[in-house]
Amino acid sequence: MADPTVRPISAADITTWDYEADVVVAGYGIAGVTAAIEAARAGAEVLVLERTGGWGGAASLAGGFIYLGGGTPLQKACGFEDSVENMKTFMKAALGPGTDDTKIDAYCEGSVDHYNWLVDAGVPFKESFWGQPGWEPPYDDGLMYSGGENAAPFNTLVDPAPRGHVPQMSEKNTGEKGGGYMLMKPLVETAEKLGVRAEYDLRVQTVVVDGDRVVGVVAKRYGKDVAIRARKGVVLAMGSFAYNNEMVRSNAPRIFGHPAASIEAHDGRAIQIGQALGADTAHMDATEVAFFCDPQLMVRGILVNGRGQRYIPEDTYPGRVGQATLFQQDNQAFLVIDEAAYEEGMNAESSSAQLRAQPSWVAETVEELEGEMGLPAGSLQSTVDLYNRHAAEGSDPVLGKKSEWVKPIVGPFAAIDLRGRTGGFTLGGLKTTVDSEVLHVSGAPIPGLFAAGRCTSGVCAGGYASGTSLGDGSFFGRRAGISAAR
């Protein structure tokens, strides 16, 4: 199991440099491309190394949400007010505990500028808002709530604003090109115009050091070692560790065996390369958690745990439902819904139709239903009674579901079995500064080494909002490029 190739190699042991550039970027996903662009604009000669046969990474397969706010032109065009302060308040509350507040501050203060930067680089956003419950907009709308800002408990803490910005999908109806692709494509084209070179099928193994300073990397290509010199700096942008079973089991065991929204290249190597140099890590247990249910159904029923109790407002961000279900309810969840609401949900527009399911159980009474579901006698009945008591007045004082979605549940009743229907990717990684320098455990930056994206711990500590990965990957990717080119 031991893999000595992760250990740093001394520059003195390199006889030939196969490639050379000012800035060497490992990984051609969202963090890599943004780092490459900024390094090139700062005048550096840039070489990107990618282990697969093409650019894109997990980003180009993603829905494409970028978490932006503080009053972006898109937010304004869609009629929403937002402020940097509100964005900070929400992110610190929803993405913690333990958020890196310096990082969130920088991210929020630079958010409008970052939006403009993306637009200038050719990323298209359509000026329209999708307001229905869902994981993503079903069409090419550019803006959506993507973190539960407009749901309890956050909607009482701070004025909500949608911050999920989605690049316009040109061929959505054919299912070919999603928002993530429409984000990556113009950025890669921008990088190419700036003279950024890329080498593919190169798997970065470790870094080359001269004393304490990182001066290059060593990679494998078709079984052969390739040495690449970085005159100014190396940027690690190689993604999460969701597909490294050993790392997941030791750090984020709750998603062991259930990687999702991730790619096999996410093997944690960048984190290990940093660790082998004495780099510090943070929040290695944190994970995004997908919940495999269509929000258009969820919002019209009640979600109960293995004891028949409600535990989350059903109209919040579905990723928050996923985290609550996996972390706090032992991955036990059922959606209880009545026939009329089920029909309505099935007919609603949704980008998650593939997550719809037939009822697992149906019954004329709640008593019957809870028996069929194997819940303790009276448990679901008391939950439905309490919900209906307040729903009759349009309120949900127990969990704060918005009144527009609160309606008494009347027979016939159905329940959908949602136990174990979660998966996710890891959010923890190398500890970096706001300038994307990789921090040694001593607290000092490692000279010549920079990192961004999901191989770092970014704006998320425990919580998650859709768009924070492409968001902090691109935002701190840019900073990694600027720092490395210095």
Q: Which stretch binds a second copy (CB under 8 A): 30-38, 58-66, 187-195, 437-445?
A: 437-445
Residue 153's identity, in one-letter code, is P
CA dist 234 and 228 (Å) reads 10
SS3 content of the chain, % helix, strand, coil (to 5): 35, 20, 45
Question: Among residues 264, 365, 444, 486, which is the contact residue for a second copy, using CB under 8 A?
Answer: 444
- β pairing state of 422-423 and 290-291: antiparallel
Q: Which is nearer to a second copy, 181 or 450 (CB)?
A: 450
Q: Which stretch binds a second copy (CB under 8 A): 13-21, 36-44, 47-55, 440-448?
A: 440-448
**Nearest to 383, CA basis, from 311, 285, 479, 298:** 311
Q: How many residues bind a second copy (CB under 8 A)?
A: 57
CA dist 486 and 472 (Å) reads 21
Q: Burial level of 436, CB count in 10 A (0-12/13-18/19+)?
A: buried
Q: Residue 374 in contact with residue 448, Cβ under 8 Å?
A: no
Quote the least distance from Cβ 207 to a second copy, whole Å: 12
Q: Residue 74 in contact with residue 116, Cβ under 8 Å?
A: no
Residues 339 to 368: which contact a second copy by CB under 8 A? Answer: none
Q: Residue 27 in contact with residue 50, Cβ under 8 Å?
A: yes
Residues 24 to 63: which contact a second copy by CB under 8 A? Answer: none
Q: Residue 18 in contact with residue 226, Cβ under 8 Å?
A: yes
Q: Which is nearer to a second copy, 95 or 485 (CB)?
A: 95
Q: Which stretch binds a second copy (CB under 8 A): 130-138, 288-296, 338-346, 394-402?
A: 394-402
385 is an interface residue for a second copy by CB under 8 A: yes
Question: Among residues 196, 399, 451, 480, which is the contact residue for a second copy, using CB under 8 A?
Answer: 399
Q: Which is nearer to a second copy, 128 or 395 (CB)?
A: 395
Q: Which is nearer to a second copy, 40 or 152 (CB)?
A: 152
**Nearest to 438, CA basis, from 235, 276, 241:** 235
User: ω into residue 318 within 30 of 0, thus cis?
Assistant: no
Q: Residue 135 in contact with residue 352, Cβ under 8 Å?
A: yes
CA dist 320 and 329 (Å) reads 13
Q: Which stretch binds a second copy (CB under 8 A): 79-87, 323-331, 405-413, 470-478?
A: 323-331
329 is an interface residue for a second copy by CB under 8 A: yes
Q: Which is nearer to a second copy, 98 or 411 (CB)?
A: 98
Residues 208 to 227: which contact a second copy by CB under 8 A? Answer: none
Question: Among residues 221, 254, 356, 419, which is the contact residue for a second copy, using CB under 8 A?
Answer: 254
| Measured CA angle at 335 (ends 334, 341), to 5 deg | 165
Question: Among residues 98, 411, 412, 420, which is the contact residue for a second copy, using CB under 8 A?
Answer: 98
Residues 127 to 156: which contact a second copy by CB under 8 A? Answer: none
Measured CA distances, 410 to 361, 407, 413, 418, 469 (Å): 15, 9, 7, 21, 40
Question: Among residues 54, 73, 97, 394, which is the contact residue for a second copy, using CB under 8 A?
Answer: 97
Report the greatest alpha carbon distance in the chain: 78
Q: Which stretch binds a second copy (CB under 8 A): 124-132, 213-221, 392-400, 465-473?
A: 392-400
Q: Residue 144 in contact with residue 130, Cβ under 8 Å?
A: yes
Question: Among residues 54, 389, 392, 403, which is the contact residue for a second copy, using CB under 8 A?
Answer: 389
Q: Which stretch binds a second copy (CB under 8 A): 24-32, 135-143, 272-280, 419-427?
A: 272-280
Question: Among residues 2, 53, 156, 404, which is the contact residue for a second copy, using CB under 8 A?
Answer: 2
Q: Which stretch binds a second copy (CB under 8 A): 106-114, 168-176, 237-245, 270-278?
A: 270-278
Helix (H, G, I), strand (E, B) or coil at 393: coil
Question: Among residues 114, 203, 232, 310, which is the contact residue for a second copy, using CB under 8 A?
Answer: 310
Binding site for a second copy (CB under 8 A): 1-7, 96-98, 249-251, 253-254, 256, 272, 275-278, 280-285, 307-311, 327-329, 376-379, 382-383, 385-386, 389-390, 397-399, 431, 440-444, 457, 461-462
